[in-house]
Amino acid sequence: MTLSRLAQGVPTPVLCISTRTQPRVLQHHTQSAHQTTNIRRSLSTSKCKALSSFGVVETRTIQRSTRRTIARCESESDKDGGRLHNRRSAWDGGPVFRRSSSVDLDASHSAAPRSAPRQTLRATVNSNTTTPLITPARVATSSLFPNTQFCTPSAFRAFSSSSAAMAAQKIDGTAVAKRVREQLKAEISEKKTVNPRFQPCLKIVQVGDRSDSSTYVRMKLKAAEECGIACELIKFDESATEAEIIARVHALNNDPTVHGILVQLPLPSHVSEYAVTSAVLSEKDVDGFGTYNIGELAKRGGHPYFVPCTPKGVMVLLQEAGVDLKGKNAVVVGRSDIVGSPVSYLLKNADATVTVCHSRTKDLDSHLKNADVVVVAIGQPGFIRGEQLKPGAVVIDVGTNYIPDATKKSGQRLVGDVDFESALQVASFITPVPGGVGPMTVAMLLHNVVAAAVQTFDAEKQRHIVPLNLHLLDPVPSDIAISRAQAPKHVTQIAKEIGISPSELEPYGAYKAKVDLNLLKRLDHRRNGRYVVVTGITPTPLGEGKSTTTMGLAQALGAHVGRLTFANVRQPSQGPTFGIKGGAAGGGYSQVIPMDEFNMHLTGDIHAITAANNLLAAAIDTRMFHESTQKDAALYRRLVPVKNGKRAFPPILLRRLKKLGIDKTNPDDLTEEEVSRFARLDIDPDTITWRRVLDVNDRHLRGVVIGNAPTEKGHSRQTGFDISVASECMAILALSTDLADMRERLGRMVVASSRAGEPVTCDDLGAGGALTALMKDAIKPNLMQSLEGTPVFVHAGPFANISIGNSSILADKMALKLAGTEPDEDYSTKSGFVVTEAGFDFTMGGERFFNIKCRTSGLVPDVVVVVATIRALKVHGGGPPIAPGAPLSPVYREENVEILRKGCVNLAKHVANAKSYGVPVVVAINKFSTDTQAEIDVVREQAIKAGAEDAVLANHWAEGGKGAVDLANAVIAASEKPKELKLLYSLDGTVQERIEKIAREMYGAAEVEFSELAQQKVDLYTRQGFGNLPICIAKTQYSLSHDPDLKGAPTGFTVPIRDVRMAAGAGYLYALAADIQTIPGLPTAPGYLNVDVDMETGEIDGLF
């Protein structure tokens, strides 16, 4: 058979033996048939049989005069024929060349004591020859280490075919472990050059002061330091409780800079090892013994995050020895969860036939005599002897036992579970103890840590949305029916797809969650994604689909174009939901789901705003009441009471001391004059601007008298209610950049003036901390999803006509980081999009987006999208008025190009306004079924004439993201255009100048007229130091002007400013134009008439 194989040119395993006394490196060589002349048999039949089980089918000796002894081995030819399948160590990285006539395989091993003379395996290469051990094309990486190749060559060794007189080759675990550490150090250094943030980090948790545990920990710390791995020991006292240890483990789980956690065992008896080790996150379980990792390892084709370190080291050493495990009989002696069982899983997965034995196994010798590979981990010194082994077997000794030895300084010696000297004479390869498996355990731990870091950094770039399919119906069903027909993804799945870690997510039920602000710190290094703001033309009372377009565009970009995209929208108020407008989830096949959860309560942010606002209102009236009924000393005594025999200022009131310039911290040190200034705010009731709020359209609360109860002793005053989303607390939520910023903003809110004309703030009342406590969860953005499963952030909901009308800065920043790119990613192709919405038309929400929100956040949008409908443009061209509930005029159902063209002046004005900020503009033509192609062409023509980059028809209401793909591509193209942000005004001029600038340039007004009250307010705020704040003008949304009846693009009108109020905490002044109301009323037929609950399912019906 051998000659036949040689004749066919098929490589044949040949082991050549020389009787020279020094071992040489075995060189891989292919020899054809004609080169085999003068070769003679040199081994007994029994020896050849031992080798044949490993694929060595013939053994020959070449005449020494040729100076070439060749050892050649083969497992099997590749399926594509002819190529040699190399049995080279997976750690080697070729090509590697040896130019030597004689090279020691391992000098230390060759010098090991021998019990009897024997033949020595030897291979030589002619000094004039250069023989590659392996070619680059043949380098195969390990299944355990698919991305790792080590560059130190190991000999290509067949198993020893000698008799008992021939010693086994020692597998030097110390040398292999050293190469592993060197490779890891090089890999870390290489990755740091690409990404300086790359820093593998291991945390070791040790409880108590066991000397052996401390020794092992020191070894790990030293090895980690040598490799460049950040490693820290977290040490607990012996008396630490299980709960304390697990709490710290959970904290490490949640730390994104920690890649591996190792609990050093054993733990004290009062602590459950299972409970503590199970607390380690599977992705950080670098020891590999957690339930998930062991379970996956035990499965055929399983995918554990990590393989336990010692078993992993065993497999590497087998690979280092060149052992082909396929079909071999492997016996594992020992069944522990630490070594025996995991090793058996690994051997099985390597296609070995595995038998697990132990100290009570019957007829153990028969199993060992049939074993090609023996792994021993039974914890008994010398348990396995050479005479029990099959000749030529590979022996891996995992045992670590100390036995008495008077010759040692310590009085003991470390030995394995195998009697080394007897096994050395029988085995082909064997691991010594010490110096075999032991060093590999730490090396494999470090390898797992680096792998964990690589997985973490790779995962940061593997963000991919799995879209939900839409089943489009015609005619389009109601919004609530569409929402209910779609099965949403669980919010944890959305979070996983976009790269939010579990520790950063706080689910509220199955489909909504809050996201922790720590995400911003974790992703601070990323370049922001692309930023798109959606605005609109001046709308009709029916709305023009701006929210629907926001959702449709986000669905198109995320589910159809393949760019990770977030829709960032405001949380809707329940006032309009139950009033005339309905919900704000979008519409048709472009909406946020579940829409009932979106429109009602959500996670309670508006309720938190309401509670905070009204607590402050109560604090104002209560403080006035108590000041009016007490003298200074009594008031001071109650504000700073004696507690436990000691008097101290509440920490929050130290802010007031600082504001008053009182540099004292002992309450008893204040003078009478200082006590009076500190304790008495002396609020002027006529200057109170703070009103109570609620999230209901209740027109009868616009003006009320409070304090009429007899208990208030005649301290009544006139005030009123605003809607909750008009509260300054809501604006602060939208404009805060972190929790600390929100705390400062809440504290500096001005609620009134003193009789001396000084501003009275929330912190003067001592309420800033309490308001922050009520809103501390509200500051976290809410995560939901669109109909097509793309992510949506819902956060803050300031009204657009009486407040800033934009979602939160924090939600935008969070989304921009999640949609952004890592330093080594290509921005042009990998960057995602954040599509946010500014309320009502561009002159309202859009103007405030730039001059207030962007001024505060420092963010600059890449594109402005202006949404237009042919219906609304016809209104601005002179069409009849549109009223909710009334039938539409035929003008809006039939083609009328002439009236449409006239109305396009409104679109042109909004495009021009948007372009004035230096950002590209795209017009989205929101398609209605009654629109004609001629009308669409007119709108496109006029939009581009006005300066838009493009004007695109979008049918997302009826088709979802599919209907907005052209719009998405236009936005992508526009986002590549250069931009240069130009804010409308600076903050250096007067308040009047800024208001006039907005009215003239944005609205088209000729001038602004200030009422006496408005002028008094402006003068007061200027004297108090607030004259340099940005401006928000509260006006009608149905006209560019203050008058809802002025359509198109009116000019020459005068804007009346009847009042100016201050939002010092939010950081702007807001002027009230004409008769704008700060709390809406309900219509004759409000939306709540349609709302009910299905008694069978508990589902809400009737929302729109």
* Buried/exposed 148-177: b ≥16 CB within 10 Å, e otherwise: bbbeebbbbbbbbbbbeebbbbbbbbbbbb
Q: Which amino acid is at 227?
A: C
In what helix (H) or strand (E) does residue 464 lie, and over which residues does it extend?
Answer: none
Phi and psi, residue 860, nearest 5° = -125, 125
> How do 565-569 and 692-694 pair as beta strands?
unpaired
Extended strands (E) in 779-854: 782-786, 791-794, 833-837
> Do the Cβ atoms of 971 and 532 come closer than 8 Å?
yes
- For the chain, state the CA radius of gyration: 39
Check residue 532 and report its DSSP letter. E
Phi and psi, residue 751, nearest 5° = -105, -20
Cβ neighbours of residue 408 closer than 8 Å, sequence gap 6 or more: none
Q: How far apart are the first and last CA of the chain?
A: 83
**In the structure encoding, which two tokens stand for residue 233, read together?**
């020991």
209 burial (CB, 10 Å; 0-12 / 13-18 / 19+) is exposed
Determine the 3-state secondary structure of 9 from DSSP. coil
Q: What totals of helices (H) and strands (E) does the chain contain, helices first?
A: 37, 43
Q: What is the DSSP string of 985-1005?
A: --SSS-HHHHHHHHIIIII--
Number of residues that this document lists for the chain: 1104
Which residues are identified as catalytic? 220, 264, 287
User: How many other CB atoms are found less than 10 A from the CB of residue 410?
Assistant: 8
How many angstroms separate the most distant Cα atoms in the chain?
A: 126
Helices (H), 370-432: 420-424
303 burial (CB, 10 Å; 0-12 / 13-18 / 19+) is exposed
* Buried/exposed 91-113: b ≥16 CB within 10 Å, e otherwise: bbbbeeebeeeebebbeebbeee
Distance CA 305, CA 293 (A): 6
Distance CA 947, CA 919 (A): 11
Distances (CA, A) of 648 to 636, 747, 750: 12, 21, 26
List the one residue out of 671, 486, 675 whose CA is nearest residue 593.
486
> Do the Cβ atoms of 635 and 680 come closer than 8 Å?
yes
Determine the 3-state secondary structure of 71 from DSSP. strand
483 burial (CB, 10 Å; 0-12 / 13-18 / 19+) is buried
List the one residue out of 364, 312, 173, 160 whose CA is nearest residue 374.
364
The 3 state secondary structure assigned to 303-336 is CCCCCCHHHHHHHHHHHHCCCCCCCCEEEEECCC
Q: Which amino acid is at 1095?
A: M
- Dihedral, CA of residue 175, residue 177, residue 178 and residue 179, to nearest 10: 90
The answer to whether the bond into 200 is cis (omega within 30° of 0) is no
Q: What is the DSSP string of 18-67?
A: ---SS----------GGGGTT-EE-S-HHHHHHHHTTT--EEEE--GGG-
